[in-house]
Amino acid sequence: MAPGGGYPPAGSAPLLRWLVTVTLTVTAARSQAVSSSVTGDEPLYPNIFNLAPGSDVSVNATCGTQTSEPYCELSSIVFMTGEECGICDGLNSDVSRRHPITNIIDGTDAWWQGPTLERGLDSQWITIEMDLRQEFEVAYVILKTAVSPAPGSWVLERSLTGTDYQPWQYFAASDAACREHFGLEPTPGKPKYRSASEVICTSYFSKLNPLMKAQIYVPLITGRPTSERPSQELLEFVRARFIRLRLRGVLTLNSHEPVLFGSRPDPQLLRSYFYSLSEVTVGGRCVCNGHATLCPVAPETGDQRCECAHNTCGATCDRCCPLYNQRPWSPGGGFPGACEKCQCHGHAEECYFDDDVARDKKSINTDGKYEGGGVCLNCQHFTTGTNCESCLPGYYRPSGVSADDPEPCRRCSCGAEGATGDCVPDDSRLKEGQVPGSCVCREGFAGERCDRCARGYRDYPRCEPCPCDEAGTVDGECDGQSCLCKANVRGARCDSCKPGYYNLQADNPDGCTECFCFGLTSICSSSYLGVENVGGAGVTSIVPWTVVSLDGSVSTEPYMDGTTQLVANDEMAADIGGYYWRAPQELLGLRVYSYGQPMEFHTSWVVRRGDTAGRPIKGPDVILEGDGLRLGYGHNMHDDTEAHISALLTEKNWYRMSTKVNRIARRRREKYDRGPVSRRQLMRVLGNMTRLLVRAKYHSDQIEGGLHDFVLKIASESSISSERTTSVEQCDCPPGYAGLSCELCDFGYRRLNGTLFRGECVPCDCHGHAADCDPYTGQCSECLHNTVGDNCELCAPGYYGDALRGTADACRPCACPTEAGEGGLTASCLTEPGGEDYVCTACPPGHEGKHCERCGAGHYGSPLTPGGSCRPCDCSGMADLSDPEACDPVTGECLLCQGHTAGWHCEVCQDEFYADADTGLCRRE
């Protein structure tokens, strides 16, 4: 039998499995609560009981409240057993004639009864309200009628406030009535639900059989999705404090309807139609949000309060208990570990959850992990902090004293003049040399009790600042009125570099770096140029590298995987030991502008799986070569499978390597390490870097290596970066030299000896006919002034003179007979000794003379006249043109005509001669 005496119908097994545990004893229930509080993973729910007896119930209409009303049972009319009628009289002393609404919850056989239709057809519209006095989760509602059939049309509703009601379910006399009365499509047959909170209209319960003592069981959970494991949607749907039954129509026999609702209704039949209820059972349980199995009545309020588990509190277990907010509250089973205890180290009784603290991982839990967002409230014992883990200002926790200690914090003893009153709160600063309890000093003071001047200050107890630049001072100290400057620093305040030095830095033991300038000057300063990256992520896919042995005898091309270059160990000979990534030519050459900048790269490797005897191997991570030197950086053994390495290009941490030892994988470092690197040696290599090698082999059982990215930073005049470099020098170069470190010959100069360090740049030898020359070969770039030759030492073809004179007119155009290029003629000449005259070497046909200035035999013309030239004389074949006198050299008139001919062109016969018609010769008459 269900709580309240009702029997749930068949098919309610899920409801019973989920909510009803009628066989549990109170002892078992309490045991379950204790057990579940340990994990908090499974939801806990109280047993279902009948909520109706403890409710306040009211109705807007009851029979006999104004006068006595006769009524008859419908069953006596239907079965013609004789009229079984009675009187309803709410004012009668006979309680059997009184039928108030309270009868439906008193557990007796008495019943409530509404007015009959004889009183009016509006007697079908009756509203019953139940106030459960607090919120519950309602599982089902059972209605039992007394001396009438079940209601025909009605609505079951719920509310949390008593004013705003929401429907649970609609009931209609027929499917058509669902549409007509409620505007809903009916759910045919036995009620079915498509969602946890679907509201349906059904005619399944509206039957005239039985005509009395009918029972309607309305499940609110059974048959709905998630009924086996309630969802939040379902739990919200069944939550109510107020329940309302709006009765909207009685069930009538079809044969009675014309009589009941006609123009002349039968009073006898009208007395047989009314509502009656003997009992309303509301099966429900306390709202404990899945965190309690019991909810006894609280004596002080009369309300039922949950006995909360899972570290929850509140009348409905709707919040975490004060010290259990490391994780936010959630309904039972909603989030494992909800309402976890805060780690306050025993110094607080309350905490709250903060989303920002959880996201930033600033709260530690009781397992010592930064998980959750608990923030302790009102820390005691002079503690403070998110977890009461720190001491208040003016207190400290000594070394060895746990944060869980009942009295962890001691008052600071810092009353000296130089102390602020605070002290180092715990041992978090031990690496900085500050022990717990050490006083926090005012500026200028130092010591565990602030009883001396700090570095850079003088004259205790006044402790005035030393008038010194700390970067240039030895340990920031001053001796009386004088500053103790570092070795390469000068000035009263030690704030400038000595001549020949630059770049004052606090982390430089000598203060300043010596000017290098390739030995050509000792005057320099920091360049303050912007920094650019050479290379970068993905650069290895743009400019492929090569994998080589140290001596270069074995090499292979890697393969690409996206932007990563890979090489298989099998592709390299087994006996070469280590192998390296060799940088492409684009990253080599002059790199002095990278001095003091980091060289960064990311490599990885894959090791053969299985239980092998392999191990990580040591070796230099980077090797640089240039100017006959080999330099190494690092000698590490990497236990991981990838390396992010940054090698700073200063002489510190680099070492010279033997160029004769090329198998170093299994050698001790001293076998190839030749000692530290000097600035000069590093700059020599950077002046002309010929090889850059990045380590590729890291493990004896390595099967694959990868190069992901490589970045080399340089100082650049074109950089727009806000990052500036002070480590790259800018030298005051002597004439003929250029570049930040005087590593270049200036415009118009060439390198004489082919070396950088103290190399000699001399003016280009172009005899004044070219502005520049190749800085290494000395070949002049572009000869001017009609000169040619590697050094512009010759006159160009068509010109004569002495190019070595070095003047703009040293080479003049030859005139053969006119200047080169005039008249369509090409001059070719040789300069005569002394360079003041020339001889034309290729006169045009018909020209002769030293300068081709006159016409030769058989030619005439004016070659010295602009546009003039020598043309063959036309003597009609009757003159010997090889004879210089055969024709006039200016006019072309034939002067020595032969064969008795005459005329300008020897075209006529002389007097007394005539032309023979057959031979054309002149014959005497």
CATH code for the domain of 907: 2.10.25.10
Find, among 331, 335, 327, the residue nearest to 308 by Cα.
331
pLDDT at residue 469 greater than cutoff 90: no
- Contact criterion met (CB below 8 Å) for 633 and 669: no
Cα dihedral across residues 339, 343, 349, 352: positive or negative: negative
The pLDDT, as a whole number, for residue 685 is: 94
Q: What is the mean pLDDT of residues 463-489?
A: 84
Above 80 in pLDDT, residue 611?
no
Q: How far apart are CA 704 and CA 636, in angstroms?
A: 19
Whether residue 861 lies inside any domain: the answer is yes
Instruction: In whole angstroms, give the CA distance from residue 308 to residue 306.
Output: 5
Q: Are residues 546 and 682 in the same domain?
A: yes
pLDDT at residue 74, as a whole number? 87
**pLDDT tens digits, one per residue of 4-61:** 333 343 333 333 333 333 323 233 333 333 333 434 468 899 999 999 999 999 999 9
Choosing from 680, 697, 729, the residue where a domain stops is: 729
Task: Band the pLDDT of 459: cuts 50, 70, 90.
Answer: confident
- What is the pLDDT averaged over residues 385-407? 94
In-domain check, residue 372: no
Question: Is residue 593 over pLDDT 60?
Answer: yes
Shortest CA distance to 304 belongs to which of 33, 48, 44? 48
pLDDT over threshold 60, residue 426: yes
Least confident of 23-27, 728-732, 769-773, 802-806: 23-27
pLDDT in tens, 555-572: 899 988 888 899 988 888
Distances (CA, A) of 252 to 147, 156, 206, 255: 14, 21, 11, 8
Tell me the mean pLDDT in the region 783-788. Answer: 94
Res 693 pLDDT > 80: yes
- Averaged pLDDT for residues 390-413: 93
Strands 629-633 and 622-626: antiparallel
Task: Tell me the two tokens of residue 786.
Answer: 């009609």
Q: Which amino acid is at 820?
A: A
State which residues form the domain around 868. Answer: 857-924
Q: Which of 350-354, 451-455, 498-502, 901-905 has the lowest mean pLDDT?
A: 451-455
Q: Is the pLDDT of residue 532 over 70?
A: yes
Pull the structure tokens for residue 512: 């300043």
Q: Give the pLDDT confidence score for residue 600 in this predicted structure.
A: 92
Q: Does 464 have pLDDT greater than 60? A: yes
Residue 15's pLDDT is what? 38
Please give the average per-residue pLDDT across 629-633, as a whole number: 94
DSSP state of 785: T
Average pLDDT over residues 420-431: 88
pLDDT, residue 536, reads 56
The answer to whether residue 159 sits within a structural domain is: yes
> How do strand 201-202 and strand 166-171 relate by DSSP bridges?
parallel
Write the CB contacts of 298 (distance below 8 Å, at least 6 apart in sequence).
304, 305
Residue 622: CB atoms within 10 A of its CB come to 19
Residues 862 and 725 in one domain: no
Q: For position 465, what pLDDT does the model report?
A: 84
Residue 352 maps to a domain: no
pTM of the model: 0.50
Token pair for residue 925?
């008459």
Where is the domain boundary, 680, 700, 729?
729
Residue predicted with more confidence, 207 or 670: 207
- Average pLDDT for 444-463: 88
| CATH number, position 174 | 2.60.120.260
Indicate the range of 46-55, 190-199, 340-349, 461-470 predicted with least confidence. Answer: 461-470
- What was the pLDDT predicted at 76? 75
Assigned domain for 131 exists: yes
From the list 154, 159, 121, 163, the residue with the least C-alpha distance to 138 is 159
Q: Which of 386-390, 501-505, 847-851 has the lowest mean pLDDT?
A: 847-851
Query: Given a cut of 90, is residue 355 above it in pLDDT?
Result: yes
- The single residue listed with the structure tokens 């502008």 is 593
Widest pairwise Cα distance in the chain: 196
Average pLDDT, integer, range 839-868: 88
Is 460 or 737 the better-scoring residue by pLDDT?
Answer: 737
Pick left, alpha or beta for residue 361 (phi over 0 → left; psi -120 to 50 → alpha; otherwise beta): left
Q: Provide mean pLDDT across the span 205-222.
A: 92
pLDDT > 90: percent of the chain:
58
For the chain, what's the residue count? Answer: 925
CB burial of residue 302 (10 Å; 0-12, 13-18, 19+): exposed
Number of domains in the chain: 3
- Domain CATH number, residue 649: 2.60.120
Q: Distance between CA 301 and CA 318 in Å, rounded?
A: 19
Single residue among 691, 707, 729 that ends a domain in this structure: 729
145: pLDDT confidence band, cut at 50, 70 and 90? Answer: very high
In whole angstroms, give the CA distance from residue 623 to residue 657: 9
CB 383 within 8 A of CB 408: yes
pLDDT at 456 (0 to 100): 78
Whether 9 maps to a domain, the answer reads no
Q: How far apart are CA 395 and CA 392, in angstroms?
A: 6
pLDDT at 98 over 80: yes
246-297 residue pLDDT tens? 999 998 887 677 667 766 778 888 899 999 999 999 999 999 999 999 999 8
Q: In this structure, is residue 851 part of a structural domain?
A: no
Mean pLDDT of 672-684: 90
What are the CA-CA distances from residue 765 to residues 755, 797, 878, 881 (Å)? 19, 21, 62, 53
Cα atoms in the 13 Å half-sphere on the side-chain side of 8: 24
> What is the C-alpha to C-alpha distance for residues 442 and 390, in angstroms, rounded to an integer?
22
How confident is residue 83, by pLDDT bands cut at 50, 70 and 90? low
- Identify whether 886 is part of a domain: yes
